[in-house]
């Protein structure tokens, strides 16, 4: 991977990290502002809303972890290399998913459990 592409992907990762961190903060604030009072229906709605927000926060935290791992790989000089076979991951794949850890072939193997 050339330096310009690496820098472009690093900037995308940093931007995504900032967006997700902000979204986690906002969703945590929303959770804290949900009022749990009123009748049973209000209580159920509050619980349901909290569950949805917790799921969103959890998904964002997982994505943030992947982003931080990718940024660490950039620092180590291993970004863009498959974590399974060690070969270069296709540049189109890295542009589509800058947190990709596996080449297409290894991803299919890992997901199939082989």
- pTM (2 d.p.): 0.86
**What are the two backbone dihedrals, phi and then psi, of residue 110, each rounded to the nearest 5 degrees?**
-60, -45
Task: Note the pLDDT of residue 38.
Answer: 74
Cβ atoms 71, 18 nearer than 8 A: no
Number of domains the chain is built from: 2
Looking at the structure, do residues 85 and 104 belong to the same domain, yes or no?
A: yes
Looking at the structure, do residues 112 and 89 belong to the same domain, yes or no?
A: yes
Looking at the structure, do residues 22 and 39 belong to the same domain, yes or no?
A: yes
Looking at the structure, do residues 47 and 70 belong to the same domain, yes or no?
A: yes
Q: What is the pLDDT of residues 57-107, one digit of tens each?
A: 999 999 999 999 999 999 999 999 999 999 999 999 999 999 999 999 999
Domain that holds residue 11: 1-79
Looking at the structure, do residues 36 and 20 belong to the same domain, yes or no?
A: yes
**What are the two backbone dihedrals, phi and then psi, of residue 81, each rounded to the nearest 5 degrees?**
-105, 135
Q: What's the count of helices (H) and strands (E) in the chain, helices before strands? A: 4, 0
Looking at the structure, do residues 52 and 90 belong to the same domain, yes or no?
A: no
Looking at the structure, do residues 74 and 91 belong to the same domain, yes or no?
A: no
> Residue 4: pLDDT band by 50, 70, 90 thresholds?
very high
């Amino acid at each position: 991977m050339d330096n310009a592409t690496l820098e472009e992907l690093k900037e995308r990762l940093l931007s995504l990290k900032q967006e997700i961190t902000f979204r986690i903060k906002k969703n945590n604030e929303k959770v804290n502002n949900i009022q749990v009072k009123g009748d049973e229906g209000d209580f159920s709605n509050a619980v349901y809303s909290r569950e949805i927000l917790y799921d969103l926060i959890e998904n964002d935290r997982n994505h943030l972890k992947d982003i931080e791992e990718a940024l660490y790989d950039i620092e180590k000089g291993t970004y863009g290399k498959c974590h399974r076979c060690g070969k270069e991951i296709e540049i189109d794949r890295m542009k589509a998913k800058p947190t990709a850890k596996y080449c297409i072939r290894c991803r299919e193997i890992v997901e199939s459990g082989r």
